[in-house]
Amino acid sequence: MKTIVKTLLVFSLIGSLMSCKSTFNAYETMENLENRNALYQEIISNQSHFSEFIDLAQQNEGAQKIMMQNHMQMMESGKMKTMMEKNPEMKQKMDSHMQKMMENPEMKEKMQTMVLDKMLGSSEGRKMLMHKMHENKEMQGEMKEKMKENPAMMEEMMEKMMENPEMKAKMMEKMKEKDKGMKMKKMDHN
């Protein structure tokens, strides 16, 4: 009798263990800081997992925006340049990644707006932008087209330029030169 009871007890114990299913709950796993850090560490230490993660992130609009902001911060701080100097393969991959992001018209516009805002935000950036525009006729044409397409952008850019006394003086000088040129042409035609 004792053997039968022991056997039944073992079978019921095994049965109850087999019936318990282990389920994975991502939310509960991510709640615990240790689990979350272990998961992150596993992803970044395994190149194929990390590539898969980046590919998934690129398919999510919110994640794309965060990645773009982080990228801009790294570029501004100089970290990106230092990393790329040390690793030409990384530079090549980064160029490829940026090219993919620029294929998305919305991301391209956001990137251009962010770069323009950063350049217009500092006097050095404004000077560099103006210098490049004066040298590059193609860039002048592109800027004129963009401003025609997006009057709000033109208005914002003009406001920022007018806030800077140096830029304002340069713009007024350019306008006077154009005005003189127009008057000279009228005089030639008469």
Q: pLDDT tens for residues 66-80?
A: 888 887 787 777 777
Task: Check residue 148 and give its pLDDT.
Answer: 79
Q: Are 119 and 125 in contact (CB under 8 A)?
A: yes
Residues 25 and 172: their CA atoms lie apart, in Å, by 64
Tokens 């570029």 correspond to what residue? Answer: 75
pLDDT tens digits, 168-188: 787 778 777 777 766 666 666
Q: 160 near 122, Cβ under 8 Å?
A: no
Please tell me which of 60-69, 104-113, 146-155 the model is most confident about, judged by mean pLDDT. Answer: 60-69
pLDDT number for residue 72: 77
Highest-confidence segment of 58-62, 74-78, 141-145: 58-62
- Per residue in 21-54, pLDDT (tens digit) is 556 777 887 888 898 898 889 888 888 988 898 8
